[in-house]
Structure 1
């Protein structure tokens, strides 16, 4: 159940970025919709309501496409792939962006072919990219 909750919150964050909502506008929208200013404080049902409201405002849910691209990795690598997924979502980037980085960095076309050390290095590179993007805005 916790995994479903994380996916709902991630989807809301993607919607926030897709709709171009700054933090105050986003929190006002949450409060106006379910009476809470943080997605972390919401129930699964409230999260679903917020997603539906965001869809009515123009959010286009591409989760099915996104999930299809997510690499299938061993249990030991799932946490790192989760970090990659979160960084991609924050930057509104597709999985093929991370795959292109993996190919440039390690000459590997698929993320699931990376070693744990290489995954750590890919996470670090994505984080550096995210930090640079934040500095520019």
Structure 2
């Protein structure tokens, strides 16, 4: 959708020219209209893009998550719970090792084997 069409849709649905001016109810109405027009919200999040010094540990976490059938949000949840950090890729190497250990413990608890 080009910018002019998008702004016309905002004006038609909410009477506003910019999404930043929408109330929560107006934003919900705009999302409902976008879904009606065929837009589908993205499920889950994409793979993190860590700094080079952390890439191996993040890859190991990815392998553990895949083996467990869990999404990246599960790893983010561990980061929040253990370190009060929102995303796995924002952790330092020591914290990443803690997430690897937590996922290994989770695998052992559920009878999965991860090397």
Structure 2 length-normalised TM:
0.57
Q: Does 1 or 2 have the higher relative contact order (CA < 8 Å, sep 6+)?
A: 1
- Asked if 1:81 is matched to 2:55, the reply is no
Bigger helix fraction: 1
Query: CA–CA distance in 2 between the matches of 1:105 and 1:72?
Result: 21
Moved over 6 A (4+): none
Larger radius of gyration: 2
Query: CA–CA distance in 1 between the matches of 2:89 and 2:61?
Result: 12
The number of residue pairs the alignment matches comes to: 71
Structure 2 residue runs of 5 or longer lacking an equivalent are 1-41
Cα deviation per residue 1:31-61 (whole Å; 9 max; x = unaligned)?
xxxxxxxxxxxxxxxxxxxxxxxxxxxxxxx
Structure 1 length-normalised TM:
0.48
Pairing of 1:16-31 with structure 2 (within 5 A): none
Report SS of the residue matched to 1:126.
Answer: helix
Query: What CA RMSD, in Å, does the superposition of the two structures yield over aligned residues?
Result: 1.8
Structure 1 residue runs of 5 or longer lacking an equivalent are 1-63
Aligned partner of 2:90 in structure 1 is: 113
